Structure 1
Amino acid sequence: MVENRPFLNILTHLVLIAGVLVVAFPVYVAFIASTHEPSAFVRGVLPLLPGDNMLESYGQMLSSGWQVGGTPPVWLMLGNSLIMALTIAVGKIAISILSAFAIVYFRFPFRMLAFWVIFITLMLPVEVRIIPTYAVVANLGMLNSYAGLTLPLIASATATFLFRQFFMTVPEELMEASRVDGAGPMKFFRDILLPISITNIAALFVIMFIYGWVQYLWPLLVTTEEDFYTIVLGIKRLMASSDRVPAWNLIMATVTLAMLPPVLVVLFMQRLFVKGLTETEK
């Protein structure tokens, strides 16, 4: 039985509110900076109220970008990042769930060896294998393409491991019952395993979407054309404008717009996301 102590309840809520303020204040500062003149951010006194340049800053970045900083319109970079994030998330989940299904429910030679080989790749992130991966992508002619942006990042040992662990908790009676009813392996997978895996898929989708959205190093290597710039790469190019004061209002407007898609994904899938991470019984 949990005791009801008003003091501890108040203290808990104060700590939570303080945590929210610490996390949200930089976001608020970014939004405020996007509504002021560029010089307002470097005067030494940080404005805390919105300025008059909001429509101008956001309109310029969405419509034409900032040619001085070498960045295309934000809508184009947001679209590239969205394609990259969705492809990586869906591809990782599709490959991982099929791999886990094969490892758990099929008895083929060296299946556990195959699983451990997949699991060991956790120690080989993109940064470790980036040179040979780049060489392969370049030799296949996939530079400056969506295939080059997404395919090298699409496999996931983490998702394979999580799906395997979940499938091992599914009662064997379900598989036996489906077999008695004449269902084949793929029908069992489609009609039984997929429906009970929705929360796990949703939780992994959110994680993998954000993973794909915030990629910086790999897009920096494989894209040299503005048509394939991602939003994170665009922010870096805005920051790297040489021999001039950075246009902080445009940079912060781009940062604010870049935060919206992952925030919306988390908000819309919050219930399934939390349920997929905390639910233990199916």
Structure 2
Amino acid sequence: MIENRPWLTFVSHFSLLLGIGVVALPVWVALVASTHPSSSFGAGEIPLWFGDQAVENWRSVFLGEASSGVDVPVWYMMLNSFIMALGITVGKLFISLLSAYAIVFFRFPFRGACFWVIFITLMLPVEVRIVPTYEVVANLDMLNSYSGLILPLIASATATFLFRQCFMTMPGELIEAARMDGAGPIRFFFDILLPMSRTNIAALFVIMFIYGWNQYLWPVIITTDDAYYTLVMSIKRMLAVDQGDIEWNHVMVTTLLAMIPPVAVVIGMQKLFVKGLVDAEK
């Protein structure tokens, strides 16, 4: 029996609308600010409705005509961010899948110890090991390169742990059936294990892509060439103005451009993620 409580429905909907407003208000302010000239922010006031400079502001920022403190256009920095985020995501998924597969389905000495060594690295984020990591990257001559931006960040104990837990739920009958059908380790991995793990892969792809896209500290440390600057780094450079006023309209355009790829990935992967959950229930 379902009880009819109008006040509870009202409170629930009001809380939901309030949460949406809190999340959407900064995006709305950034979108509106991107359509005004820089002079509109001189008095410290924030306009709340659209202006008439949207096309000019977005074109000048995207093509690098606006002053951003970096010698490359924004579209090029977006490309750098995309290469870095995609490389980190694919690398994390590939290494985590293989390591979890080896730990769960292969018998070798110190298998449990290997897993716990990987798991303990959760307590060592990039910020903790930044100095030795930088020294290794510098000795390998990978400063100011895509390999230096990507390779030190592709190891993921979290993804390894989640894939290990997923693989441990696979029924033993399935493994025996694959062996009886003559499926070797490689065929079992690609034809059976990966399709059954698509839900985890889709979820971790979204998380890892956003993680790679929003990286700031590591690119700042190893990058001195503007040709390898990422979009998140450029926002900080645009705010670091020694003389003159900050061009907030251009900052807001760059901020919105930095939001588009992660949002697109979330929307694009949502259908696959939900489909994986539905298929798993079946």
**Band the TM-score falls in, shorter-chain normalisation:** over 0.9
Q: Is the 8 A contact 2:68 2:234 kept in 1?
A: no
Is 1:93 the equivalent of 2:106? no
Q: Which residue identity lines up with residue 220 of structure 2 in the other structure?
A: L
Match runs of 1:111-260 below 5 Å: 111-260=111-260
Deviations 1:231-265 (A, max 9, x none): 00011100112122111111111001110000111
Question: C-alpha displacement at 1:214, in angstroms?
Answer: 0.3
Q: Which residue identity lines up with residue 127 of structure 2 in the other structure?
A: E
Structure 1 counterpart of 2:32: 32
Question: C-alpha displacement at 1:275, in angstroms?
Answer: 6.5
Q: Is the 8 A contact 1:219 1:229 kept in 2?
A: yes
Q: Which residue identity lines up with residue 140 of structure 1 in the other structure?
A: L
- Cα distance in 1, alignment partners of residues 121 and 279 from structure 2: 27
Q: Is the 8 A contact 2:57 2:249 kept in 1?
A: yes
SS in 2 for 1:143: coil
Question: C-alpha displacement at 1:29, in angstroms?
Answer: 0.4
Is 1:110 the equivalent of 2:110? yes
Is 1:57 the equivalent of 2:57? yes
Change (3 A) 1:39 1:276: farther
- Cα distance in 2, alignment partners of residues 127 and 278 from structure 1: 38
Q: Which residue identity lines up with residue 121 of structure 2 in the other structure?
A: T
Deviations 1:186-231 (A, max 9, x none): 1111111100111110000000000000000000011111111000
Compute the TM-score of the two structures, normalised by the length of structure 2: 0.95
- Cα distance in 2, alignment partners of residues 198 and 68 from structure 1: 40
Structure 1 counterpart of 2:266: 266
SS in 2 for 1:269: helix
Compute the TM-score of the two structures, normalised by the length of structure 1: 0.95
Percent sequence identity is 62
Runs of 4 or more, structure 1, over 6 Å off, are 275-280
Q: Which residue identity lines up with residue 90 of structure 1 in the other structure?
A: V
Change (3 A) 1:100 1:60: same
Worse overlay, 263-272 or 48-57: 263-272
SS in 1 for 2:49: coil
Q: Which residue identity lines up with residue 82 of structure 1 in the other structure?
A: F
Question: C-alpha displacement at 1:281, in angstroms?
Answer: 4.9
Q: Which residue identity lines up with residue 85 of structure 2 in the other structure?
A: A
Question: C-alpha displacement at 1:11, in angstroms?
Answer: 2.2
Q: Which residue identity lines up with residue 82 of structure 2 in the other structure?
A: L
Q: Is the 8 A contact 2:231 2:258 kept in 1?
A: yes
Structure 1 counterpart of 2:83: 83
Structure 2 counterpart of 1:15: 15
Q: Which residue identity lines up with residue 249 of structure 1 in the other structure?
A: N
Question: C-alpha displacement at 1:57, in angstroms?
Answer: 1.0
- Cα distance in 1, alignment partners of residues 209 and 68 from structure 2: 31
Question: C-alpha displacement at 1:8, in angstroms?
Answer: 2.0
Structure 1 unaligned blocks of 5 or more: none
Change (3 A) 1:274 1:240: farther
- Cα distance in 2, alignment partners of residues 18 and 6 from structure 1: 18
SS in 1 for 2:183: coil
Q: Which residue identity lines up with residue 143 of structure 1 in the other structure?
A: L
Deviations 1:142-190 (A, max 9, x none): 1111000000000000000000001111111100000011111111111
